[in-house]
Structure 1
Amino acid sequence: MRIRIGAIGPRDSLDKIKEVAIEDSRIELVEFEYFHSDELEHLIQNNRYDVTQWIFSGQTPYYYALHNGWITEEEGYYPQLHGMGLLGTILKIFLERGEVTTALSLDSVNEHTVQLVSREYNLNSLHFELLPYNQFRTYEEIIDFHMQSYIKKKTEVAVTCLLTVYDELKKRGIPCYRIVPSHLAIQNVFNLLVSRAKSQIYQKSKVAIMGFELADPTALDSRNVYESRKNKLIAELELVSVAEKLNGVLSEAKDDRFHIYTTYGDVELFNSSQSLNDLVKEFELKTSLNLKVGIGSGYTIDSAMEHVGLAFESLDSLSNHSIPFVNQEKKVIDLSKENTTYFTVENLPDSWKKVMKENNYTPTIPAKIYHFIKLKRIEHFDSDLITSLLKNTDRNSRRILNELEQMGLLQVCKEESTGKPGRPKKVYTLML
Structure 2
Amino acid sequence: MKVTIALIGSQEFCRQARSIVLPHNIRIDYYQYDKPSDAPRLLKTMKPCHAILFSGSLPYEASKQALQTISIPAFYVQQNEHTIAVTLLYLASEKNMAIHDISIDIKELAHIEQILQDLGPLSSIQKPAIHELQANTDLQTVVNFHMEHVKSGKSKLAVTSVHAVYDQLQAAGIPSFRMLDPASNILRAIKHAVQQADFARNEATKIAVGVLQVHQPEKLPQGTIEKLANYLQAQWKEKEGSFFFYTTLGTIEFVFALKAFVEFCESLQSASTLSFGLGLTALEASDNAINALQLSKQTDNKGVFMLDEHKKLHGPLPATKPSIAMRLDDPDLLTISKKTTLSPAVISKLTLFDEFRQSTPFTANDLAGYLAVSRRTAERTIKKLMDQQFVVSVGEEMAYSQGRPRALYKMKFTI
- Report the TM range for the smaller structure's normalisation: 0.7 to 0.9
Question: Secondary structure, in 3 states, of the residue corresponding to 2:34?
Answer: coil
Q: Residue 177 of structure 2 aligns with which residue?
A: 177
Question: Secondary structure, in 3 states, of the residue corresponding to 1:275?
Answer: helix
Q: Deviations over 1:350-396 (max 9, x none)?
A: 75553224555313333333333432335322323223333433322
Q: TM-score, normalised by structure 1?
A: 0.79
Q: Residue 186 of structure 2 aligns with which residue?
A: 186
Q: TM-score, normalised by structure 2?
A: 0.82
Question: Secondary structure, in 3 states, of the residue corresponding to 2:410?
Answer: strand
Matched, 1:30 2:17: no
CA distance in 2, matches of 1:278, 1:109: 44
CA distance in 1, matches of 2:389, 2:74: 31
Question: Secondary structure, in 3 states, of the residue corresponding to 1:70?
Answer: helix
Q: Residue 17 of structure 2 aligns with which residue?
A: 17
Q: Which runs of 5+ in 2 are unaligned?
A: none
Matched, 1:57 2:55: yes
Deviation, 1:63, is 1.9
Q: Structure 1 residues 408, 294: closer, same or farther in 2, change over 3 A?
A: same
Question: Secondary structure, in 3 states, of the residue corresponding to 2:44?
Answer: helix
Q: Structure 1 residues 250, 339: closer, same or farther in 2, change over 3 A?
A: farther
Q: Residue 261 of structure 1 aligns with which residue?
A: 246
Q: Residue 331 of structure 1 aligns with which residue?
A: 313
Between 356-365 and 92-101, the greater mean CA deviation after superposition: 92-101
Question: Secondary structure, in 3 states, of the residue corresponding to 1:181?
Answer: coil
CA distance in 2, matches of 1:207, 1:70: 29
Residue identity in the other structure for 1:59: S
Q: Residue 161 of structure 1 aligns with which residue?
A: 161
CA distance in 2, matches of 1:282, 1:109: 49
- Is 2:86–2:182's contact at 8 Å kept on the other side of the alignment? no
CA distance in 2, matches of 1:337, 1:10: 33
CA distance in 2, matches of 1:264, 1:93: 51
Residue identity in the other structure for 1:61: P
How high is the sequence identity, in percent, across the aligned residues? 17
Matched, 1:313 2:294: yes
Q: Residue 275 of structure 1 aligns with which residue?
A: 261
Deviation, 1:42, is 1.5
CA distance in 2, matches of 1:236, 1:346: 27
Q: Residue 282 of structure 2 aligns with which residue?
A: 301
- Is 2:166–2:178's contact at 8 Å kept on the other side of the alignment? yes
Work out which of the residue numbers 249, 252, 276 in structure 1 matches 2:235.
249
Q: Residue 133 of structure 1 aligns with which residue?
A: 133
Q: Structure 1 residues 360, 153: closer, same or farther in 2, change over 3 A?
A: same
Work out which of the residue numbers 394, 397, 404 in structure 2 matches 1:413.
394
- Is 1:79–1:181's contact at 8 Å kept on the other side of the alignment? no
Q: Structure 1 residues 61, 38: closer, same or farther in 2, change over 3 A?
A: closer
Deviation, 1:425, is 5.6
Matched, 1:370 2:370: no
- Is 1:4–1:28's contact at 8 Å kept on the other side of the alignment? yes
Residue identity in the other structure for 2:373: N
Size of the aligned set, in residue pairs, is 404
CA distance in 1, matches of 2:281, 2:96: 66
Q: Residue 196 of structure 2 aligns with which residue?
A: 196
Q: Structure 1 residues 431, 150: closer, same or farther in 2, change over 3 A?
A: same
- Is 2:86–2:180's contact at 8 Å kept on the other side of the alignment? no
Work out which of the residue numbers 98, 111, 114 in structure 1 matches 2:112.
114
Q: Residue 70 of structure 1 aligns with which residue?
A: 66
- Is 1:81–1:182's contact at 8 Å kept on the other side of the alignment? no
CA distance in 2, matches of 1:25, 1:346: 39
Residue identity in the other structure for 2:229: A
Deviation, 1:91, is 4.4
- Is 2:209–2:277's contact at 8 Å kept on the other side of the alignment? yes
CA distance in 1, matches of 2:222, 2:140: 65
RMSD across aligned positions (CA)? 3.8
Q: Structure 1 residues 276, 154: closer, same or farther in 2, change over 3 A?
A: closer
Q: Which runs of 5+ in 1 are unaligned?
A: 221-233, 285-289
Structure exhibiting the larger radius of gyration computed from Cα positions: 1
Deviation, 1:34, is 0.6
CA distance in 2, matches of 1:336, 1:8: 29
Q: Residue 89 of structure 1 aligns with which residue?
A: 87
Q: Structure 1 residues 353, 199: closer, same or farther in 2, change over 3 A?
A: farther
Q: Structure 1 residues 115, 312: closer, same or farther in 2, change over 3 A?
A: closer
Q: Deviations over 1:245-265 (max 9, x none)?
A: 5332223414x4332222223
Q: Structure 1 residues 19, 342: closer, same or farther in 2, change over 3 A?
A: farther
Q: Structure 1 residues 250, 416: closer, same or farther in 2, change over 3 A?
A: closer
Deviation, 1:9, is 1.3
Q: Structure 1 residues 316, 178: closer, same or farther in 2, change over 3 A?
A: same
CA distance in 2, matches of 1:111, 1:95: 23
